Amino acid sequence: MNHLLVPIHEIVGEEEAERIIKKYGKKENFPNILLLDPVIEELEAKKGDLIRITRETPTAGKTVYYRVVVK
Amino acid sequence: MLMKRIAQIEFNVISPEKSRKLSALEIKTPDTYDKDGYPMEGGLMDPHLGVINPGLRCKTCGQKMKQCPGHFGSLELVRPVVHSEFGKKVEDALHATCDSCGRIAVTEEKLKQIRELDEPVEQKTKRILLRTKKAKKCPHCGIAKKEILLDKPTNFYSNKERIYPTQIREWLEKIPNEDLELLGYNPEKVRPEWFVLTVLLVPSITMRPSITLESGIKSEDDLTHKLVDVIRINTRLKDNIEAGAPQLIIEDLWDLLQYHITTFFDNNTAGVPPAKHRSGRALRTLVQRLKGKKGRFRYNLTGKRVNHAARSTITPDPFISINEVGVPKEIADDLTVPELVTEWNQKEIIKMIKDSENVKYFVRLNGARKKVSDATKKEIMEEIEPGCKIERTLQNGDIILFNRQPSLHRLSMMAHKARVMPGKTFKMNPITCKPYNADFDGDEMNLHVPQTEEGKTEARELMYAQDQIISPRYGAPVLILDEDGVSGCYVLTMKSTKLSKEETMQYYYEMGVTELPKTKNENAFSGKQVFSALLPKGLNLAYKTNTCKELIKRGMCSVCKKEKCDSDAFLKIEDGELTSGVIDDASLGEGKGTLIHTLFSEYGPETVEKFYHNANRIVGDILTKKGMSVGLDEYETNSEIEKVKEKAVKEELEQAEKLVEQFHKGNLELIPGRTYEESFELRMMRLGAGTKEKIQQVIMKQKIEELLSSNPKLNSTVMIMSGSRGSALNLTNIMALWGQASVREGRPRRGFKERLIATNKQKDVGAMAGGFIKQNFMQGMKVKEFFYHSMGGRQGEVDTGVSTKVSGYLYRRLANSLKDLNIANDTTTRSASENIIQFNYGDDGVFPMKSSRGKTINIARELEKLNK
């Protein structure tokens, strides 16, 4: 998890997750991340959790991305 | 009209019962027409199968040609036949099941286990097949399982004994529904025994129309020919069976029927000789109609042809606007644009009909079309009223779309205004070459004429050439003045360029300026003054030119004196007046073009369009008058360069020798990430490059000094310094030496054992044996060097060939996969099915076309403006 090539992953709190999903429409349209993904295993997230990924990109600096945990 | 949205499409296999129900007629006879040329009743051309003659009515639905969709017929096969496309499916089903009870040859418990697994059916089927292939006997009825073999495409063997479609069908019928589900079937919709045909669905006449040749002879479609074969064999088989013919003959005929039906579906089935026409040409049957480049999908559905289009060779014309395309009169007179008659333009249109040949058609309120000719003119002029339409020929100012293939990006198709001109080629402003990637060595381009107001408006608002000046990829100019354009501007704005009063007046006139600016000397104007007439008032700019970069690179400048630069390398524009600096690639070039970009973002596309228009008018003339040309004497070296070259080459050889010595001793220093040999090769390459660089510096220094003198020659140096074409490297190749030849980023190596070419000593790894070229293009190369050079030259040739092909296809796949992404109103990038790809477009939400080189705003520039 503490590696420069692994961006910050975190589980979004239930309330906030609901708000974010509502903002972008349906949960089914969100990008996915596998439950088997090493980061997810480490985080001990459950199926259906919303994961916030914070990355550094060359064009925009800090960017936030969301993924829904799926099986 | 009742509009409904198609929610889903289901593809299925048609059952024999459904085939019979679908069919309008049972085909009974192989004959198509009788003696008198009338279609045979119950034959392949029976009018119950649809109509292909206009005027006649269909015997099934009673409609005329345009309305009747055609109707299927059916053919009862005397003996069933395997559908060749499903051979593999049948094989799997036979493999999985028992021939006596029809159950999957896996124990009940195991089946239950597999059924409960959480995985797709395909996976489950695979599991079952893996088990049943090994099974020796059926666990349900205990009968020994047979070994099934498929001789592609349609022959089956059970324990090495041939089994016939009748047996296969019986076997498949036995498989219970629950077992079929495990094999990936939905037994409600598809049963495997339907893969063994008992009824053949005969396509309607509309799918295989016959053509009457001029000589009156009817020529039938390939499909009809094939169907005749099928029916003929079917009847023969029937007759033989009824007559009680020996089993052998029946089996032969059966196989023949199988062959004809197989080729009826796909005449290119592997392992089956294609059916031939009488002339020897292979028949085009069902699969061939759909498949491939010339098939229904790629040829007719994705590649529809359009009307109102033209194609011709392109030629340059710098005197027309970038927004214009010169359309040959002959083409313009052929293309039409519909125009609505209103109470406001009625008079003009009547006048146009009366006085010119420009109106070609007249469309009444009810949509009826009438050709305008001398005979009908009068009548039409009286009939015309608001709401009618006319179709007139293409006129100046009409919006058209112009396109060059391959259409790799959005700028490959832009909207222009038509300009009817004499000649036979499309004329375009050479500035628009870059985005189209066009040149004039015979390139052809396409022109399309939008036919509706919506189409025209959309083209004008979204695709107009002048609005595409800034690239949507990197946010800097793409519609640029290049080559001669840049050289011309450079020559015009050079410090040493002085113009007489007459010349100046001529140029001002060309640009539409009627008054001379006030100057100290009435008879001598500087080029900068002339250029300033191209700039709008109030423009302030200051930046370093390309010359500045070149000077720093050659170590000829250390302290920047800004606008007081001795070499005139710092550009300054004050209130639309060019006060110092030259105009070059840094102002005009692709991806840089500071001047163009500033003009565009601060004054708008019209200003840039005007700038280009006027620049084109004077730039070519300047070059012609001043005379820019290259000659061999320009590449003659002087003693200084020769001395430097001699010294550098000597040093190179000495150093190379040292390296070789070190290499052999084995104490050469390694380069990180490289092996010992690689490190040596790399060092040799770097040595060669360094030598060339040294000589290059001296040459460029001399050339630049020459150019910056008070009376410079206008030659290759202008091109290099302005950045319009060529580089210092090219100059060095011509004047001094080629340096180290290279193949795949290293010294050339392939050839003979331990040496590059046969005349070298073996194991010689020195500079001269490793592809170092001392000679230049002026002197010509020595024999060995020529071969070294050719090795590098070949790589270049291969690379251009391979990389265009490979990268072209790579790009195509990328573009196709991204083509229907869109940016939703909540700034997310979404796919066609509304799945989120990015939460904020490009992560920063910036549209490069409206940006400054990818950044939202150019902060330095905004501050500069504030400080004024």
C-beta of residue B230 within 8 angstroms of C-beta of residue B260: yes
Q: What is the pLDDT of residue B134?
A: 80
- The residue-averaged pLDDT of B187-205 equals 92
- What distance in Å separates the CA atoms of residue B151 and residue B162, rounded to the nearest whole number? 10
Q: What is the pLDDT of residue B339?
A: 94
Cis peptide before B273 (omega within 30 of 0): no
B844 to A59: CB separation less than 8 angstroms, yes or no: yes
Give the closest of B836, B844, B854 to A24, CB-based: B836
- Is B868 a residue whose pLDDT tops 80? no
Contacts of B50 (CB under 8 A, 6+ apart): B58, B60, B68, B69, B70, B71, B204, B205, B206
- Chain A residues with beta carbon closer than 8 angstroms to that of B843: 57, 59-60, 63
Give the closest of B828, B830, B843 to A59, CB-based: B843
Tens digit of pLDDT for each residue in B13-44? 999 999 999 999 998 888 888 888 788 888 88
Q: What is the pLDDT of residue B116?
A: 86
Count of beta carbons in the 10 Å neighbourhood of residue B101 = 16
- What distance in Å separates the CA atoms of residue B38 and residue B829, rounded to the nearest whole number? 62
- Is B278 a residue whose pLDDT tops 90? no
- What distance in Å separates the CA atoms of residue B699 and residue B729, rounded to the nearest whole number? 10
Domains recognised in chain A with CATH numbers:
8-70 (3.90.940.20)
Helix or strand run (H / E) with residue B392: strand B389-393
Question: Angle between the B121-134 and B87-96 helix axes, to the nearest 10 degrees?
Answer: 60
C-beta of residue B600 within 8 angstroms of C-beta of residue B469: yes
More confident residue, B433 or B819: B433
Q: What angle do CA B589, B694, B765 make, to 5 degrees?
A: 115
- Is B103 a residue whose pLDDT tops 90? no
pTM given for the model: 0.80
Give the closest of A57, A59, A64 to B839, CB-based: A64
Q: What are φ and ψ of residue B736, in 5° steps? A: -110, -75
- At A32, list the tokens: 């996915």
Task: Return the minimum-mean-pLDDT range out of B93-97, B141-145, B289-293.
Answer: B141-145
Q: What is the pLDDT of residue B722?
A: 93
- The residue-averaged pLDDT of B125-143 equals 84
Alpha helices in B384-471 (DSSP H): 433-436, 453-463
- The residue-averaged pLDDT of B839-847 equals 90
- At B638, list the tokens: 């002087």
Task: Return the minimum-mean-pLDDT range out of B311-320, B375-384, B779-788.
Answer: B375-384
Is B822 within 8 Å of chain A by CB?
A: no
- Chain B residues with beta carbon closer than 8 angstroms to that of A54: none
- The residue-averaged pLDDT of B777-798 equals 92
C-beta of residue B313 within 8 angstroms of C-beta of residue B444: yes
Q: What is the pLDDT of residue B1?
A: 67
- Is B216 a residue whose pLDDT tops 80? no
Domains recognised in chain B with CATH numbers:
17-71 (4.10.860.120), 80-200 (no CATH), 206-302 (no CATH), 309-468 (2.40.40.20), 484-626 (1.10.274.100), 632-790 (1.10.132.30), 822-867 (no CATH)
- Chain B residues with beta carbon closer than 8 angstroms to that of A23: 826
Amino acid B346 reads Q
- CA distances to B334, B340, B364, B468 from B389, in Å: 18, 5, 7, 33
Is B669 within 8 Å of chain A by CB?
A: no
Tens digit of pLDDT for each residue in B656-685? 999 999 999 988 889 999 999 999 999 999
Count of beta carbons in the 10 Å neighbourhood of residue B107 = 13
Tens digit of pLDDT for each residue in B540-552? 999 999 999 989 9
A31 to B846: CB separation less than 8 angstroms, yes or no: no
C-beta of residue B441 within 8 angstroms of C-beta of residue B474: no
Q: Which residues of B691-723 are buried (b: 16+ CB within 10 A; e: fewer)?
A: bbebbbbbbbbbbbeebbeeebbbbbbbbbbbb
